[in-house]
A and B are shown apart, each in its own frame.
Chain A
Amino acid sequence: MLQAIRRFFAARGVLEVETPIASRAAASDPALDSLSTRWHGPGGAAGLPLYLQTSPEFPMKRLLAAGCGPIYQACKVFRNGERGRFHHPEFSLLEWYRPGWDHRRLMGEVADLVRCVLDAPGLAVEEVSYRDLFRERLQLDPWHADLGDLCRAAADHGIGGVDGLGLSPDGWLDLLLTHCLEAGLGRGCMTFVYDYPPSQAALARVRPGPEPAGERFELYLDGLELANGYHELTEAEEQRRRFAWDLQWRAAAGRHCPPADEAFLAALDAGMPAAAGVALGLDRLLMIKTGSTHIDQVLAFPVERA
């Protein structure tokens, strides 16, 4: 699989890079928790916390800001607390960036890569906006539904225990997506869901307008979330605001607040070219390629035996 991926990018003139797995800063995304370790040595006599990357996003964007052109990386990433049939705390991510592209154009290249790795040249593509997905399949407009609408929709679809969940609007949308929609996505084709509510833009730019949208996409195949991509946010000020908001949220929720990545913010200050980027879960892609039903089937030694 890695050979096919390397050939794919070599033919397209995308440079393979390597960035640190352990770094001084970590993702502040409310949905992610980093594993950390301590470094003892020059500059870290008392033990400097080093965070294991949840994705190589920040250092790769620093390379983009330095003018490296299109780049890719296949690496190990770590996410604390994630374990299940499709989750493992240590997994392999393929991440790549295309300066000058937007998310919609990158979706086409993601489809090409998946076809190449799965050796399925005829695998079709379906594109649906996040909004149409909810409107068509749940008769719900995610931009305008209120907490009552969302909670009712979840109860109507037979999700047990909704009364005690106490979710935010985005939490309810995540609940409906994972429980009612995901299983039906990517059946017999690759389904790209694109243009997310601004509150779920994560690190994507928000397209302004009367109904702003986060320029983000997700790829689903066989009901499995395979990739997440952005038309990247390159504005330093907006990025600072989002970091501050994330950290505020984490503090309020009693979660660990890692230091924000100042080197990444400095790179945005210096100027990062407009770009689209995507991260694709290689273990899940291998699961699909081998017809596996549990992520442990594609790991040599799962964490319980690592």
Chain B
Amino acid sequence: MAYYSTSEFRGGMKIMLDGDPYAIIENEFVKPGKGQAFNRVKVRNLKTGRVVERTFKSGDTAEAADVHDTQMQYLYNDGELWHFMDPASFEQLTADANAVGEAAKWIKEQDMCNVTLYNGAPLSVDPPNFVTLLITDTDPGLKGDTSGGGGKPATLETGAVVRVPLFVQSGELIKVDTRTGEYVSRVKE
């Protein structure tokens, strides 16, 4: 089993705390001039996404978590599980709704996703930062409106709803930033 000491801690490192895998966000060294040194570490629980702060004595260690990121292709959803494939080995695995989470509303077949594996099983799925999706339903915009303040809701082929400018119409492809859930631009075929 690998262990990391507090002086090795850095952003992105995955460690085990209380039996759960966590990602280190921030590691701050605090020490009174004449006293005990500590590391105040901000960590995100990779199962729940919750961010908490943990304090270690400087020099203490934490067990490394068997967590790593891999690029996988989304194949299909069978109604319950999402199926992904490693494009190099063609190995397939399935992720449940808990792991897929928010990504479900952005991904469509053949998209490449970042799948985080914990002990070999999918822990979370991140969609590509930008996806191109078809608008399946939106109110017709007012004629002559070219930019539009405010915009209107549009339903996409994956079921996600985003706000788009008034001039964007049903049947058009748009680019969306999945990190913010915001419309970026129209996409020509």
Which B residues are in CB contact (< 8 Å) with A218?
A: 32-33
- The answer to the question of B188 belonging to the interface, with a C-beta cut-off of 8 Å to chain A, is no
Cα–Cα distance between A34 and B38 once the two chains are bound (Å): 18
- With contacts defined as CB atoms under 8 Å apart, how many contacts are there between chain A and chain B in the complex? 77
B94: Cβ under 8 A from any A Cβ: no
Beta-carbon contact of A225 and B29 below 8 Å: no
11 A-B pairs within 8 Å (CB atoms) are namely A29-B34, A31-B31, A31-B37, A83-B7, A84-B28, A160-B52, A160-B54, A165-B55, A167-B57, A171-B35, A175-B38
Q: How far is the CA of A31 from the CA of B38 in the complex (A)?
A: 11
User: Could you say which of B29, B35, B57 has the most chain A C-beta atoms within 10 Å of its C-beta?
Assistant: B35
Q: Does A41 sit at the interface, judged by CB under 8 A?
A: no
Q: How far is the CA of A203 from the CA of B32 in the complex (A)?
A: 15
A256 to B53, CA, bound (A): 31
A167 cross-chain contacts in B, Cβ below 8 A: 36, 57
Contact B7 A31 (CB under 8 A): no
A53 within 8 A of B: no
Number of interface residues of B (CB under 8 A): 23
Partner of B30, one of A31, A173, A178: A178
Report the minimal beta-carbon distance from A295 to chain B, rounded to whole angstroms: 11
Query: Which 5 pairs show the lowest CB-CB distances between chains A and B?
Result: A84-B29, A174-B35, A161-B54, A160-B54, A174-B36
Q: Give chain A residues whose Cβ lies under 8 Å from the Cβ of B57.
A: 165, 167, 171
Q: Which residues of B have CB within 8 Å of A182?
A: 32
Kindly provide the distance from the CB of A181 to the nearest chain B CB, expressed in whole angstroms: 10
- Which residue in chain B gives the minimum CB-CB distance to A204? B34
Kindly identify which residue among B17, B29, B40 contacts A82, using a CB–CB cutoff of 8 Å: B29
Pick from B28, B29, B36, B59: contact of A171, CB below 8 A. Answer: B36
Question: Is B56 at the interface (CB under 8 A from chain A)?
Answer: yes
- A202: nearest chain-B partner, CB-CB: B34
Asked if A85 is at the interface (CB within 8 A of a chain B CB), the reply is: yes
B77 part of interface (Cβ distance < 8 Å): no
- B156 to nearest A CB, angstroms? 40
Contacts of A20 in B (CB 8 A): none
Contact of A31 among B36, B40, B54, B55 (CB under 8 A): B36
Known: A159-B55, A179-B40. A85 touches B28 (CB 8 A): yes
Find chain A residues with CB under 8 A from B17 CB: 161
Q: How many Å from the CB of B82 to the closest CB on chain A?
A: 33
Proximity bits, B44-74, A CB within 8 Å = 1, else 0: 0000000011111111100000000000000
Q: Most chain-A Cβ atoms within 10 A of its Cβ — which of B28, B32, B53, B54? A: B32
Chain B residues in 8 Å Cβ range of A178 = 30-32, 35, 38
Given contacts A81-B7, A81-B58, contact A160 B32 (CB under 8 A): no
Q: For residue B36, which residues in chain A have a CB less than 8 angstroms away from its CB?
A: 31, 167, 170-171, 174-175
Q: Inside 8 A of A177's CB, which chain B residues have their CB? A: 32, 35
Chain A 172-188 near chain B by CB (<8 Å), digits 1 or 0: 01110111001000000
| Alpha-carbon gap, A159 to B40, bound state (A) | 9
Complex: chain B residue closest to A227, CB-CB: B33
A240 within 8 A of B: no
B residues 101-160 with Cβ under 8 Å of A? none
Query: CB-CB < 8 A to B32: which residues of A?
Result: 31, 174, 177-178, 182, 218, 225
Q: Mark A142-167, 1 if CB is under 8 A from B, else 0.
A: 00000000000000001111101101
Additional pairs, 17, CB under 8 Å, beyond known A165-B57, A171-B57, A179-B40: A31-B31, A81-B58, A83-B29, A84-B28, A158-B53, A160-B54, A160-B55, A161-B55, A170-B36, A173-B35, A174-B35, A175-B36, A175-B38, A177-B35, A178-B32, A178-B35, A218-B33
User: For residue B29, which residues in chain A have a CB less than 8 angstroms away from its CB?
Assistant: 82-85, 87
Task: Please name the residue on chain B nearest to A29 by beta carbon.
Answer: B34
Contact status B34-A162, CB under 8 Å: no
B61 to chain A, nearest CB (A): 11
C-alpha gap A58/B59 in the complex (Å): 28
Quote the shortest CB–CB distance from A148 to chain B (angstroms): 18
A159: nearest chain-B partner, CB-CB = B55
Is the beta-carbon distance between B54 and A170 smaller than 8 angstroms? no
B53: A residues at CB distance < 8 A: 158-160
In the complex, A200 has a CB within 8 A of chain B: yes
The CB with the most chain B CB atoms within 10 A, among A164, A179, A182, A218, is that of A164
- CA gap between A240 and B32 in the complex, in Å: 24
A228 at the interface (CB under 8 A from B): yes
Min CB gap A182→B, angstroms? 8
Residues of A within 8 A of B35 (CB): 31, 170-171, 173-174, 177-178, 200
